[in-house]
Amino acid sequence: MTQTTKPQTLTVLGATGSIGSNTLDVVRRHPGRYQVFALSAATQVDALLAQCAEFRPQYAVMASAAHAAQLAEKIKANSLPTQVLQAPGAIEIIASHEAVDAVMGAIVGAAGLAPCLAAARAGKRLLLANKEALVVGGQLFMDTVKRHGATLLPIDSEHSAIFQCLPEDRSSWATRVDSIVLTASGGPFRQRDPATLAQITPEQACAHPNFSMGRKISVDSATMMNKALEVIEARWLFDMAPEQIQVVIHPQQIIHSMVQFKDASILAQLGTPDMRVPIACGLAWPERIESGAARLDFAQLAALTFENADAQRFPGLHLSWQALRAAEGTTAVLNAANEVAVDAFLQRRLRFDRIHQVNLQTLERITPARPASVQDLLALDEEARSAAQAAVARLAA
Ligand code: NDP
Ligand code: MG
């Protein structure tokens, strides 16, 4: 990029997390190309302060007033130019501000839905890591993106891979694409005896073999609910029928996902497992920029292997197809139940193998009416969380 080109202004939602800090690592490698406009976080005041000192955004937002007050005090003490925005809906404001070109949605959970929708309604370039927002928002999310001319770029590595393999002409997908194949690592318990799943601790579940990620997605990877959420995410991003989406375990995580065409030809996207690759791809698309990731060394590469997911060890995986075929809104119920169950597991209130029971029991208890608005979705999310909390209480260890 030449010196005279205006930098792209960027808001990073969930800046202190794994995806947020990897995003800033890519940005750091391209001085002059990106200008950080705003950053948000929930609890890590000092981490956000350090990011404000380095990237000097115009605004910073914390999820609670107490954390915002702490940050504002420290920003003042450090004489930084950043303003801590404390207005109601401050996260939505920095996601939709007219001065912003691109928004990285890297908040974890359904909490990211409203800010991502605000960015979509403002027609932004939306880099979506926050898969739960799409799992909850479903059709309504995609309609909002389309109606307001937003550009939705997937950051989840599997969906970035599929995005890169699909023809750029979206209107040709129906006639050319047969199916998509999501690869999965299988997580840390791929070979563990299913009879011992009850004893798994949060520390064991968060020790992913290939990635250092936030705690919620780490547990989701261990149960393979992460892949279930990704099947739903793929259904909406790529407008595929549930039966056009397959999952295969590929422990090395070199192939990030594949597209199969009508003639049985398959295109795959490969690389070292490093989230800075899909982040750089989303930031620069359709251009390509340095991500900081190591190059794949084929001479050093061991075999690439594939296997089916064991239904006994990973009973949650099939819930994605089940939820997609059920009434609209069911995927929001599944997501809420899973967020509550994972949280209870991380707080040692629920056994690992009962996360699935909470999800099942919540799905059994709630039959959603068709959500017609964000308010409907948030109410459904709330209702499902209450049902899931009750299930956790029944199943608590
Ligand atoms: P982390 O837990 O590492 O980070 C989450 C970020 O969101 C933090 O900045 C956190 O703030 C903030 N946050 C948490 N809760 C809230 C809330 N209620 N309101 C506002 N902000 C909040 O998660 P990851 O970076 O691992 O994941 C982020 C998203 O990206 C998830 O949806 C995940 O599924 C997806 N993803 C992640 C991948 C990865 O490799 N990590 C890969 C593919 C997708 P604070 O830390 O200050 O409390
Ligand atoms: Mg993924």
For residue 107, which atom of ligand 1 is closest to its CA? Answer: 7
Residue 394 has pLDDT above 50, yes or no: yes
Residues with CB under 5 A from ligand 2 (ion): 156-158
Over residues 10-22, the pLDDT tens digits come to 999 999 999 999 9
Whether the link from the prior residue into 286 is cis, omega within 30° of 0, is: yes
Angle at 335 between CA 332 and CA 341, to 5 degrees: 140
pLDDT of residue 302: 83
Going by their DSSP bridges, the two strands 255-261 and 266-270 should be labelled as: antiparallel
Pick the residue whose CA is nearest to atom 22 on ligand 1. 42
Question: What are the pLDDT digits (tens) for 52-61?
Answer: 999 999 999 9
Q: Report the atom number in ligand 1 closest to the C-alpha of 45.
A: 47
Average pLDDT, the chain: 96
In the block, residue with structure tokens 């047969």: 178
Question: Looking at domain 170-272+297-395, which of 1.10.10.1100, 1.10.1740.10, 2.60.120.10, 1.10.3720.10 is its CATH number?
Answer: 1.10.1740.10
Out of 74, 85, 92, 108, mutate this one to test ligand 1's pocket (max ligand atoms within 8 Å of CB): namely: 108
Question: pLDDT tens digit string along 206-243?
Answer: 987 777 899 999 999 999 999 999 999 999 999 999 99
pLDDT score recorded for residue 212: 81
- Predicted confidence at residue 5, as pLDDT, reads 83
124-170: per-residue pLDDT in tens? 999 999 999 999 999 999 999 999 999 999 999 999 999 999 999 99
Q: What is the rounded CA–CA span in Å between residue 103 and residue 94?
A: 9
In this chain, the answer to whether the domains covering 8-155 and 170-272+297-395 adopt an identical fold is: no
| Conformational region of residue 187, where left means phi above 0, alpha means psi within -120 to 50, and beta covers everything else | left
Nearest protein CA to atom 40 of ligand 1, as residue: 213
Which string of DSSP letters, residue by residue, matches 276-290? HHHHHHHHHTTS---
Which pLDDT band holds residue 4 (cuts at 50, 70, 90)? Answer: low
158-204 tens-digit pLDDT: 999 999 999 999 999 999 999 999 999 999 999 999 899 999 999 99
3-state secondary structure at position 256: strand
Strands across the sheet containing 83-84: 83-84, 59-62, 34-41, 8-13, 102-105, 125-128, 151-154
* Number of Cβ within a 10 Å radius of residue 80: 16
Tokens 């709630």 appear where?
Answer: 366
pLDDT tops 80 at residue 397:
no
What are the boundaries of each domain within the chain? 8-155, 170-272+297-395
E strand intervals along 215-297: 245-249, 255-261, 266-270
The preferred substitution site among 21, 46, 107, 232 for testing ligand 1, maximizing ligand atoms within 8 Å of CB, is: 107
Domain 8-155: top CATH class: alpha beta
pLDDT of residue 2: 47
Cα(157) to centroid(ligand 2), Å: 5
**Rounded to 5 degrees, what are φ and ψ at 125?**
-85, 110
pLDDT higher than threshold 50 for residue 1: no
pLDDT on residue 139: 96
Residue 298: count other Cβ atoms within 10 Å of its Cβ: 8
**Spatial CA neighbour of 338 closest among 316, 323, 321:** 316
- Of 224, 184, 185, which Cα lies nearest the Cα of 313? 224
**Alpha carbons 182 and 184: distance in angstroms, whole number:** 7
- CA–CA separation, 62 vs 81, rounded Å? 16
Query: Does residue 249 surpass a pLDDT of 80?
Result: yes
Q: Per-residue confidence at 312, pLDDT binned at 50, 70, 90?
A: confident
Q: Which atom of ligand 1 is nearest to the CA of 91?
A: 20
- Nearest protein CA to atom 43 of ligand 1, as residue: 156
Residues 233, 199 contacting (CB under 8 angstroms): no
Q: Which residues share a beta bridge with 83?
A: 59
Cβ < 6 A, ligand 1 pocket = 14-20, 41-44, 63, 106-108, 111, 129-132, 156, 211, 213-214, 216-217, 275
The answer to whether the beta carbons of residues 104 and 19 sit under 8 Å apart is yes
